[in-house]
Amino acid sequence: MVGQRFPGRATADSQDRNTPMHASFISRLSLLVGASVALPSLFACLDHPLKPVEYEAAQEKDEAIALTVNKDVDILFVIDNSGSMGEEQATLAQNFASFINVLERPEVEANYRIGVTTTDNGNPWCGTTGPEAGKLRLSSCLSRPTEFVFNGAMTIDAFDEACVAVCPDEWSNIEIQPTEITQGGESVARPWLENIEGKTNLPEGLSTVQAFQCFGPQGIDGCGFESHLESMWKSLRRSQTDGDEAYGFVRNNAILSIVHVTDEADCSYNNDHEAIFLPEGNRVFWSDPDAASPTSAVCWNAGVACDGNECYSVNLDESGAEVSDSAADSGAVLRPLERYIDIVQTLETQKQEITPDQEVLVAVIGGVNSDGSVTYQESLMDPQFQADFGVGPGCESSAGRAVPPVRLREFAEEFQVGSARNMFSICDADYSPALEAIAEAIADQVKPACMPACVADGNPTTPEVLDPSCTLIQEAPQADGSFLETSIRPCVGAGGDELPDGADVCYQALVGDAMDEFCIDEGFNLQFVLVRRPGFPAPGGTSVSATCQLSQNKVIDCPGLP
């Protein structure tokens, strides 16, 4: 964190760095009821409420109900790699098991991908840094020792703390295994971690937790004018750009989670207005117009306004005057928040056309209090901190202090789901509670495949046990754009979880207490679970339709339904 950890740290970190020298295979499904979904549910997502699976009269007809694989999860970490982030990166890596443990729980078993990029998007004062500009990075920190050295008023070497202490010695070079992004497509090494149906793209003997402890630490030699939102925007665009190494990282049907980890304010500026950082500009956003170089306060002053203890984002031109929303794209010195909200909202809307209940999840581990609240105040006791960052610290600990977020806070609020918390403190000594909460929000999106109808008992002679009569059909997308249709047979074996001869997938029909509590609470009486052959995961976008004989007396068979 910026500030107290080293003598003169705030000044060194904000001024000198800105100078020109500077493994189970049971697949869980979620439900999509095509004809019975009203259009407003696809687009009314600004408040991002938690939505239950709804039973509708249309589901009482004997017609196929579509199921879609919804345990695919794409997670993008945007990690601040500026000079003050050594200890924070170490803490993130040390506590990462809390995140993965949730995703790999038996009732979740997410098919996840994890990508990492940095906040370095370049700046006129950061000529010596190599801006990632949203590029996904996947290399062992042990192979990048120079990236953990910050040369400012004093030299800071965080290599031992942020890398060596968390990354196993034998993983100085990690060979990522080739994978496909579409079935039958080219198999190459991708710049992300993945675990699909229990199979990772890591060399044998390396767990995802260990891998992140090596890949996650990004170093501390990045640009001190952090562009969290622009880096995120470019990373998402890269994932949609054919030919980019990251192409295909964000899957159309997958749950998307974006996590920002930083101790400073967003400085996603418009390149056309880089003069705000230069001596020949009008210096209206500089703390000291007579200084030889600007501090990070430019980022705060150029995009934030405060009314007492409340601060909010504003769009300002190079003279400091506010510009209208319609002119902000070109006229505002910092990119308007709408640019970043729009790309994520578009992705969410596209995903909801496949799975109506799906939400994009956004979280920030930043300069907030331990309870997630944000404190905005001037740094009266430390005028140097005020001059360096434009505001007083939002949180502090023995390690240092962090700048309270405004633009990142507002962005995260746009994608908050219900009352679930998505703001966490980077000043906390342990990130396990934050990482666990972020992962739990993802797990909440991975819902079991309740049959959203009241299914009839096909064998009345055993009234104590439901004996459903159902047919399941899978349609899997192929590389040529066609779909391969497969009839899914029931699983066999004493435990009912073995594949029939020659089958790559089968289904279990769970009833009664064997069902997930979610299905029971919703009042349904049948849940499907797919079992897939190891090494034969369902391609992204695979759909499964179920046709079951439905009950003619749901008052008796499904008393919990309306």
Domain with residue 158: its CATH number is 3.40.50.410
- Residue 3 maps to a domain: no
How many Cβ atoms from other residues are within 10 Å of residue 11's Cβ? 18
pLDDT tens digit sequence for 480-506: 878 899 999 999 999 898 999 999 999
Q: How confident is the model at residue 464, as a pLDDT?
A: 74
- Residue 562 maps to a domain: no
| Same domain flag for 63 and 79 | no
- Residue 440 maps to a domain: yes
Query: Domain tally for the chain?
Result: 2
- Residue 127 maps to a domain: yes
Residue with tokens 């633009």: 407
pLDDT tens digit sequence for 451-485: 888 999 888 777 778 899 999 999 888 878 788 99
| Same domain flag for 335 and 382 | yes
Last residue of a domain, which of 381, 416, 445?
A: 445
Distances (CA, A) of 232 to 139, 215, 238, 370: 19, 18, 10, 25
Q: How confident is the model at residue 438, as a pLDDT?
A: 98
Q: How confident is the model at residue 63, as a pLDDT?
A: 64
Q: Which residues of the chain have pLDDT under 70?
A: 2-63, 66-69, 183, 540-541
- Residue 1 maps to a domain: no
Please give the Cα distance from 451 to 549 (Å, whole number).
Answer: 12
Q: How confident is the model at residue 504, as a pLDDT?
A: 92
Q: How confident is the model at residue 152, as a pLDDT?
A: 76
| Same domain flag for 175 and 90 | yes
| Same domain flag for 397 and 544 | no
Range of the domain at 49: 29-69+448-557
Last residue of a domain, which of 422, 445, 468?
A: 445
| Same domain flag for 77 and 90 | yes
Q: How confident is the model at residue 354, as a pLDDT?
A: 80
Please give the Cα distance from 445 to 351 (Å, whole number).
Answer: 12
80 closest CA partner among 318, 319, 426: 426
**What's the one-letter identity of residue 540?**
G
Q: How confident is the model at residue 181, as a pLDDT?
A: 86
- Residue 4 maps to a domain: no
| Same domain flag for 217 and 238 | yes
| Same domain flag for 40 and 141 | no
| Same domain flag for 419 and 498 | no
Q: How confident is the model at residue 540, as a pLDDT?
A: 66
Q: Please state whether beta strands 543-548 and 470-477 pair in parallel, antiparallel, or not at all (unpaired).
A: antiparallel
| Same domain flag for 242 and 97 | yes
- Residue 202 maps to a domain: yes
| Same domain flag for 454 and 370 | no
Alpha helices in 49-96 (DSSP H): 86-94
Last residue of a domain, which of 408, 424, 445?
A: 445
Q: How confident is the model at residue 61, as a pLDDT?
A: 53
Alpha helices in 48-198 (DSSP H): 86-94, 97-103, 159
| Same domain flag for 321 and 431 | yes
- Residue 495 maps to a domain: yes
Helix or strand holding residue 435 (H, E): helix 432-445
Contacts of 397 (CB under 8 A, 6+ apart): 1, 427, 428, 429
Rounded to the nearest 10 degrees, the angle between the axes of helix 407-414 and helix 228-239 is 40
| Same domain flag for 329 and 438 | yes
Q: How confident is the model at residue 53, as a pLDDT?
A: 41
Enumerate long-range contacts of 159-163, CB under 8 Å, 24 or more apart.
Answer: 161/86, 161/87, 161/90, 162/85, 162/86, 162/87, 162/89, 162/90, 162/93, 162/217, 162/219, 162/220, 163/90, 163/214, 163/217
